[in-house]
Structure 1
């Protein structure tokens, strides 16, 4: 394989005078790698996309919107927000499905230094209540389903101005979206601090309550540059190795967004990259592999990115063979490790498309690594090399770097790392040391710098790309009066990557079955967090010497049962 060419491409592209020149700068009190030529904030990036005026920007069902339309509306939204008294540093919460209004609200906020708070559309009223109190937005923009849940947070009624999107009936206390986008005025002229918050995205942690990660403008722009670099370096390496040059003037990308826009996968990676290249975003009401195939054919989609199971469901769908997928150039997987067999299957079954993946986190505004094409098929169990603005370390339990060739917790430092977690200084201090983010993932790094994920230190389950906190689910289970002790963990699942399982010991003389416990959890948790598998034990659950549950032992006990289920 062409690893020497890949190293040469990286050196040329990131060295002095290179298109992606990397320098060191003082960022948030630390000397950090960053891109010399990156736009200073998301504002400049978004304004530059106005040059694509007449190109189609967003497609949703039968609706189509040009870049010119999008810029007119984002200008009106920003002007309306300023007329309501909002200023840089304030926050606006966005709670809706992947409607076109989501990205318009996001760009409007980012272009004037207002942080967009991405509200998980699956949250229950209790979870929504927590995040709204935590982030304290000055406006909530929501669709009908989320408005209904907001109404179930009675103590918040009247405390947050509301904007309604796609409501059948408009309540008196809700400003119609149509009024906002018709607001007169120019885009407010502000200077956006690169290290201020561009967005707050919530991520499940081991402490139970989700944490609001502060994604900075510098971090979001650096993630975009990482994505552009990944494509450029791969193309340069392959051209030098094979002599085959990529198209001189490739058509704009058409990107099918399959995951929620309140996550970095769809927003910071999918939407940012397509927007930077003047491409089209194709949105879905909800994930459906058959509908995805129909959209790929109708819109001539060039790239689809989502959690790994989505690509698997597309290529295994009954309609796959009779659908024209020749427009596809890439099928990407993120949010969870792509199974090696799927990497090779994509390459074999979609002749025009190459498999790609990026490993990353909310806490890095997107990707840490990227790999695709021949490099991915050659090392399908790898997440790829770290991107240029990251330094990497592998750290042992003693806090020291492990010996070369050994596995350790992956720490990364770079301009994409978040500022911290809002209102959680202790969690920030625990996660970030002198600019180094503790990923919680155990990894090894080979001689070419390719990273291999081997385990996770965190008590986190990644179900279909969604982070689920074991602690949060356990807290819900413990709210049932019949439960004496419980332990939640993930078990392997072909479709979702992992499913949620719980081992339960009941109180003496208490009675409870699987369905009743699942119904109890569903009343307190978003449905994707409800345990799929429940097993009751009569003896105490296995623990280690310090009294912690042995999740790995319990997972092994479940493995045979869930495989047969």
Structure 2
């Protein structure tokens, strides 16, 4: 394999004078690695796409917008927000499906230093109430489904201006999106601080409440450079090793966005890289493999990135062989580890596409590692090497670095690490030490610098790329008066990787059923967090000497009885 060439390519590209030259800088109190040539903020990234004015940009069903039209609407949106008294540093929330308006509002806000709060569209009214209270946005853009949640608890939007997007019968008190889009005006001149908050994305909380991660402009731009670097270094290494040069004019990317834009997988990785290259972003109402195949053929999609199960469903779909997928160059998986068998299936079954993946977190504004093509096929159980803006190390339980190839918790430090969590100084302090982010994943780093994720330190379920913290689900279940004890854990699932399972012990005299627990959960938490598997037990749950539930023992005892 071409590992020596890859190392040399990485050194050349990141060294003095290289396109991805890395320097060290004092940022937010820590000396960290960052890109010398990166633009200072997302504003500059967005403005750079004006050169693509006539190219198609956003496609949704039968709707199409060019870059020029997108800039015009984004400029209108920015001016409208400033006219309402929203200032740089203030927050604006987006709560909707992956409609074109999501991206237009996002670029408009970041271009003038306003912080976007990406609201999880799966949240219940109660969870939405918490997110709005925690982030305190001045304006909320929402679609019909999210409006229905607001109407369940109207007090959650007290003091906010509401803009309705794609709502047929606009109720009183809401401003129609068409008013915002037609406001007009050129983009105001604003200098955006690289270390100010670009957006707040929520991660599941270990204490029952989600945490609002502060993604900075520098972090988002660094992630874009990491993604560009991943492609450039891999291509250069393969060219050196094989003598086969890439095309002089790289094809204009066409990316199918399959996961929610309130996550870094779709937004910071899919949307940023494609937008910066002047490519076309194709949005879906919801994921459905057959519909994805139809879109790939119609729009000549060159890359599709989602959680690994989506690639599996695509190549296993009965229409796959009948569909023209010859435009596909990359079939990527993120948000969860790509099973090695799927890497090899993509390589074998999709004639034109190569497998790729990125391992990352909300807390790193996107990817930490990236691997694709020959390197991924050679090491299909690897997540790839760390990107140049990161230092990476594996540590033991005392925070001491372990030896090469030894297993420990992966810590990373670099310009893409978040500033912290809003309103949660204790959570920030627990997660970040001297700029080093504790990923919560147990890993080893091999002699080629490739990182292998071997286990999870955090107590969570990874369901289809969504992090679900066991403690969050447990705290919600305990709100049922009939529950004495409960313990949540992950149940292996062929399609989604894991599903949520829970063992429940009812209080004496309570006639509590699994269905009652499920109904209770469905009323107060997002659908994907509701346990699929519920075991009602008569005996107290097993504990260790310090009183903690023996989660692994419970899982091993109960899950063999599961049939999907």
Q: Identify which range, 546-555 or 88-97, moves more after superposition.
A: 546-555
Contact 1:82 1:188 in 2 (8 A): no
Separation in 2, partners of 1:351, 1:336: 24
Classify the secondary structure of the residue corresponding to 1:32: strand
Q: Secondary structure at the match of 1:122?
A: coil
Provide the C-alpha distance between the structure 1 equivalents of 2:440 and 2:550, rounded to a whole number of angstroms: 18
Within 2, Cα distance between the matches of 1:408 and 1:27?
27
Indicate the residue corresponding to 1:243 in structure 2: 243
**2:369/2:384 contact within 8 Å kept:** yes
SS in structure 1 of the partner of residue 536 of structure 2: strand
Deviation at 1:156, TM superposition (A): 2.8
Cα deviation digits, residues 474-501 of structure 1 (max 9, x gap): 1121122221100001121110111000
Aligned to 1:337: 337
Partners in 1 of 2:116 and 2:199 — Cα distance? 5
Matched residue, 2:76: 76
Aligned residues: 564
Query: Which whole-Å CA distance do the structure 1 matches of 2:460 and 2:47 have between them?
Result: 38
- Within-5 A mapping of 1:383-532: 383-532=383-532
Matching residue of 1:127? 127
| Cα distance per residue 1:497-516 (max 9 Å; x no partner) | 11000011111222222222
Question: 2:432 and 2:472 mapped to 1: Cα distance?
Answer: 22
Cα deviations by residue, 1:273-325 (Å, 9 ceiling, x for unpaired): 00011000000000101100000000000000000000000000111110010
Partner SS state of residue 170, structure 1: coil
Aligned-partner SS, 2:94: strand
Whole-Å separation in 2 of the counterparts to 1:313 and 1:445: 31
For 1:370, what is the secondary structure of its paired residue?
Answer: strand
Worse overlay, 402-411 or 74-83: 402-411
TM-score (norm. length: structure 1): 0.99
- Following superposition, the deviation at residue 546 of structure 1 comes to 1.7
Distance 1:258 1:530 in 2: 22
In 1, the alpha carbon distance for the partners of 2:381 and 2:555 equals: 22
DSSP 3-state at the match of 2:214: strand
Name the structure 2 match of 1:67.
Answer: 67
User: Which residue matches 1:163?
Assistant: 163
Question: Match for residue 180 of structure 1?
Answer: 180
In the alignment, the residues of structure 1 paired with residue 443 and residue 519 of structure 2 have an alpha-carbon distance, to the nearest angstrom, of: 37
CA distance in 2 between counterparts of 1:161 and 1:296 reads 38
Q: Contact conserved, 1:303 with 1:329, CA < 8 A, in 2? A: yes
Question: Aligned equivalents of 1:328 and 1:217: distance in 2?
Answer: 31
Alignment of 1:33-112 (within 5 A): 33-112=33-112
Cα distance in 2, alignment partners of residues 154 and 103 from structure 1: 26
RMSD, aligned CA: 0.9
Gaps of 5+ in 1: none
Q: Which residue of 1 aligns with 2:319?
A: 319
Match of 2:548 in 1: 548
Unaligned runs of 5+ in 2: none
Measure, in 2, the Cα distance between the counterparts of 1:465 and 1:405: 27
2:139 counterpart residue number = 139
Contact 2:89 2:115 in 1 (8 A): yes
Query: Is the Cα–Cα contact under 8 Å of residues 132 and 157 in structure 2 kept in the other structure?
Result: no
**Matched residue SS, 2:369:** coil
> Aligned-pair distance for 1:538?
1.8
CA distance, structure 2, for counterparts of residue 177 and residue 154 of structure 1: 20
Between the aligned partners of 1:105 and 1:426, the Cα distance in structure 2 is: 32
Deviation, 1:402, is: 1.8
- 2:4 counterpart of 1:9: no
**Distance between the aligned counterparts of 1:543 and 1:442, measured in 2?**
24
Contact 2:404-2:446 at 8 Å conserved across structures: no
In structure 1, the partner of 2:285 is 285
Separation in 2, partners of 1:19, 1:404 = 30
Inter-partner Cα distance in structure 2 for 1:6 and 1:157: 52
* Worse-superposed segment, 156-165 or 376-385: 156-165
Q: CA deviation at 1:185?
A: 2.1
In 1, are the aligned partners of 2:404 and 2:447 still within 8 Å (CA)?
Answer: no
What is the distance in 2 between the residues matched to 1:374 and 1:146?
44
Name the SS of the counterpart of 1:504 in structure 2: strand
For residues 346 and 484 of structure 1, the distance between their equivalents in structure 2, rounded to whole angstroms, comes to 47
Q: Give distance in 1, aligned partners of 2:369 and 2:561.
A: 35
- Mapped to 2, the partners of 1:336 and 1:157 lie a distance apart of 34
Distance in 2, matches of 1:169 and 1:505, equals: 46
Asked if 1:374 is matched to 2:374, the reply is yes
What is the CA deviation profile of residues 11-37 of structure 1, one whole-angstrom value per residue up to 9, with x for unaligned ones?
A: 000000001000000100000000000
2:27 maps to which residue?
27
Partner of 2:45: helix, strand, or coil? helix
CA positional deviation for 1:157: 4.4
Indicate if the aligned counterparts of 2:208 and 2:476 stay in contact, CA closer than 8 A.
Answer: no
- Secondary structure of 2:200's partner? strand
Cα separation, 2, equivalents of 1:157 and 1:417: 31
- SS of 2:123's equivalent in the other structure is coil
Tell me, in whole angstroms, the C-alpha distance in 1 between the residues paired with 2:300 and 2:405: 44
- In 2: Cα distance, 1:375 partner to 1:157 partner: 49
Structure-2 separation of matches of 1:544 and 1:440: 22
